[in-house]
Structure 1
Amino acid sequence: MMEWTILGAGALGCVIAGQLHQKGEQVGFMLSERHRGHFHPKLDLITLSGSHQLINSQPRFPEHSRKVECLLVFTKAYNVLDALKELRHLPKSTPVILFNNGMGLTEQVKALLPDNPLLAGVCNHGAMKEQDWLVRHTGKGETWLGPLNEAGKAWAHLVKPLAAALGHTEWGDDIALHQRRKLAVNAVMNPLTACNNISNGQLLEPRFSEVLEQLTDEVYQVIARLDGNDAETKEAYRRRLHQVIEQTATNSSSMQQDLACGRKTEIDYISGYMLTHADGLPVPVSQQLYDEIKKREDSMQRPAPGAKRQA
């Protein structure tokens, strides 16, 4: 039986690992050096019904990469390349599936791993990390899998075990279309909730109605132009966005959590991607949110006034 190796033990990676394990699949976590020598407890997964499931998983480290049979990448977008570079012994035949947020990494990963089958996964399940090795599955959604290079096209059969574990899972030859559909939601929810330090559901409060409408229009224009003939209508997009906000009302976006905890965000791969592809379209709200989050990130990296720098 093939082992699924999860790179990135965040909320969604842990939930996917738990779901696969519950269906009898073998799962391992590829861990960074900071985890070496630590005790690795069982993953405690809180299911949609509220029950606790203890999940056994095998801890892996870069020297084990030669035995990786299928790699699922859930690291933060800005860590993907560095994390993959650590896996120097990864077999060229091993499929690598990118599940990271945002867009803009495909060409760089292709250059780094020119021979590996490369795929992208778009997973709309809700997940929340409550503490180390304790994650909550907060909602079910669609999952899409598709190729990023020619070699990736031979791995469509992975849809079957993923569907058994996750529910609705389909193959998409144009996986970038599904990536953009998810980006269109994240490019509204993530920066707005992060800048205002609010939960997803609070976006529907009257005080945010004007900026939500302006940002929705900006994002739709950019994504619709990228989608071309496959673009959804503005009304369909607006309904989909509001449905996600309502379904995840009590959740906090990953960007809100990162900014609130003083961590780097994935803004460059979400709003940054939008701005790069605006090509003359007016996107003032997206630009303002991007600038504000970059400003806050920069301030977190600077030492406080009077603080001594480490030699």
Structure 2
Amino acid sequence: MIHLIGAGGLGLLWAARLARAGMPCRLILRDTAALNAWQNRHQLVGLTEGTRHFDIEVPAEVASTGEPIAFLIVATKAYSAQAALASVAPRLKSGAQILMLQNGLGSQQAASQTYPAQRVLYASVTDGAWVASPAQVVWAGKGINRIGDPFGGEAPSWLENLNAATIASQWVTDIEQVLWQKLAINCAINPFTVLYDCPNGEVPLHAGVLLDQLIPELHQLLACYGARIDLEHLDATIRQVINSTAANSSSMRQDVHNNRRTEIDFILGYAVRQARSADLQLPTLERLYTDLRSRLVALGLPPD
């Protein structure tokens, strides 16, 4: 049985694909009211994939009841991950596998520290999904999930099941390097999309020289923490992502437009804290962090 906690866009997307592939799964909801609403919708997830639409039944339960959990996928926002795990902690089997799908860094390491009796795996997710209405999710962009164990170890057998459910996944032995590089990409795109309220493709136009200054600073940060990528490759990767997602609105910008808390603390905030801890002088990164926090406060949103 696969248990999945987090009923946002990514959680609904994964749950729908698992159930569509005939794999036993349960979506864990936050409380009885949410479960009642789910059951009133006949436990159906509406999945829109291009021009096709599917209604897929996904059984659900609340965190406090149900069988012991052997495999848990955590698909919440980064700032909610610890609370979500705590809600099901009494149900986690010793040796249970926990797959973290969060943006940024910090929530994964916190899970590893808090649950040493379980195997916590990290994922870098590039699928795009958004919730059109309650229990209706749009698969906006197909990506690949890179999954790994920060402490080493072999690939789990269920990786084949994910691929069978069209959740394209590959095992990597350097997952933290993968996540550091993804963090750098997010730091170079997401904050500017909020500051200038623009889609990804317009970031170079608005950010200008700040982007040019930021990328070498991000390279310094990655090099300090062991991520093996040269400056030219990092620069080219960031600009390729900007071009390939030009029409997209970043997750951080979507959160702002929906008046929701952002994941700044696990993206730009994490980068700044790690730079300070290493005594790196990265003025553009610091300025971007200050400006973004000020912008969020001006919009009435939490700055962390």
Gaps of 5+ in 1: 303-311
Q: How many residues align?
A: 294
Tell me the CA shift for residue 81 of structure 1.
0.8
Q: Which residue of 2 aligns with 1:132?
A: 134
Q: Distance in 2 between matches of 1:139 and 1:271?
A: 24
Gaps of 5+ in 2: none
Q: Which residue of 2 aligns with 1:286?
A: 285
Tell me the CA shift for residue 30 of structure 1.
0.9
**1:16/1:301 CA distance change after superposition, 3 Å:** closer
- The AA in structure 2 aligned to 1:80 is A
Q: Distance in 2 between matches of 1:155 and 1:234?
A: 31
Q: C-alpha root-mean-square deviation of aligned residues, in Å? A: 2.3
Q: Distance in 2 between matches of 1:218 and 1:111?
A: 29
Matches within 5 A, 1:150-229: 153=153, 156-166=156-166, 168-204=168-204, 206-228=205-227
Question: In the alignment, is the contact (CA less than 8 A) between 2:146 and 2:172 conserved in 1?
Answer: yes
Q: Which residue of 2 aligns with 1:69?
A: 70
**1:92/1:254 CA distance change after superposition, 3 Å:** same
Question: In the alignment, is the contact (CA less than 8 A) between 2:35 and 2:61 conserved in 1?
Answer: no
SS in structure 1 of the partner of residue 18 of structure 2? helix
The superposition leaves residues 280-303 of structure 1 with CA deviations (integer Å, 9 ceiling, x where unpaired) of 33322322232233334445269x
Tell me the CA shift for residue 168 of structure 1.
4.3
Q: Which residue of 2 aligns with 1:21?
A: 19
The superposition leaves residues 7-61 of structure 1 with CA deviations (integer Å, 9 ceiling, x where unpaired) of 11122222222232332222321111251432443111111x3211112111121
Q: Which residue of 2 aligns with 1:240?
A: 237
Q: Distance in 2 between matches of 1:194 and 1:297?
A: 9
- The AA in structure 1 aligned to 2:24 is Q
**1:83/1:276 CA distance change after superposition, 3 Å:** same
- The AA in structure 2 aligned to 1:191 is P
Q: Identity of paired residues, percent?
A: 28
Q: Distance in 1 between matches of 2:12 and 2:97?
A: 19
**1:254/1:27 CA distance change after superposition, 3 Å:** same
Question: In the alignment, is the contact (CA less than 8 A) between 1:117 and 1:149 conserved in 2?
Answer: no
Q: Distance in 1 between matches of 2:105 and 2:156?
A: 22
Q: Distance in 2 between matches of 1:239 and 1:103?
A: 22
**1:39/1:72 CA distance change after superposition, 3 Å:** closer
Tell me the CA shift for residue 169 of structure 1.
2.1
**1:67/1:192 CA distance change after superposition, 3 Å:** same
Question: In the alignment, is the contact (CA less than 8 A) between 2:155 and 2:171 conserved in 1?
Answer: no
Q: Which residue of 1 aligns with 2:146?
A: 144
Q: Distance in 1 between matches of 2:185 and 2:94?
A: 34
SS in structure 1 of the partner of residue 158 of structure 2? helix
TM-score, normalised to structure 2's length? 0.87
- TM superposition outliers: structure 1 runs of 4+ over 6 Å: none
Q: Which residue of 2 aligns with 1:306?
A: none
Q: Which residue of 2 aligns with 1:38?
A: 37
Question: In the alignment, is the contact (CA less than 8 A) between 2:162 and 2:169 conserved in 1?
Answer: yes
The superposition leaves residues 118-158 of structure 1 with CA deviations (integer Å, 9 ceiling, x where unpaired) of 111111112222222222212222211111457xx365222
Question: In the alignment, is the contact (CA less than 8 A) between 2:74 and 2:98 conserved in 1?
Answer: yes
- The AA in structure 1 aligned to 2:36 is G
Question: In the alignment, is the contact (CA less than 8 A) between 2:35 and 2:60 conserved in 1?
Answer: no
**1:201/1:29 CA distance change after superposition, 3 Å:** same
Q: Distance in 2 between matches of 1:221 and 1:199?
A: 27
